[in-house]
């Protein structure tokens, strides 16, 4: 059973900024626009098929993702 606190995780330093060097080149998106839209559709389907908290969470995630995408 997961407790939310995993062994070996240092939660005291979780708010510390990430330090490092980063390239100046443009980074590729993790998902294409089409893949992101498809993911949102699957999350909305899960929301309809699962009337429990998981479905509700999937719907909220779908809405959050949709707001972040540029208009088609």
Residue ranges per structural domain of the chain: 32-72
Please say whether the dihedral angle defined by the alpha carbons of residues 44, 36, 68 and 58, taken in this order, is positive or negative. Answer: positive
Instruction: Give 41-70 pLDDT, tens digit per residue.
Output: 999 999 999 989 999 999 999 999 999 988
Separation between Cα atoms, residue 56 and residue 72, nearest integer Å: 26
Each residue's pLDDT tens digit, 2-25: 555 555 555 555 667 777 787 778
Give pTM, 2 decimals: 0.58
């Amino acid at each position: 059973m997961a407790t939310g606190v995993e062994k070996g995780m240092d939660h005291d330093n979780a708010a510390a900024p990430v330090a490092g060097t980063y390239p100046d080149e443009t980074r590729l998106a993790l998902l294409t626009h089409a893949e992101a839209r498809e993911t949102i559709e699957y999350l909305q389907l899960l929301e309809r098929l699962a009337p429990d908290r998981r479905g509700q969470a999937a719907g909220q995630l779908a809405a959050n993702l949709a707001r972040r995408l540029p208009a088609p």
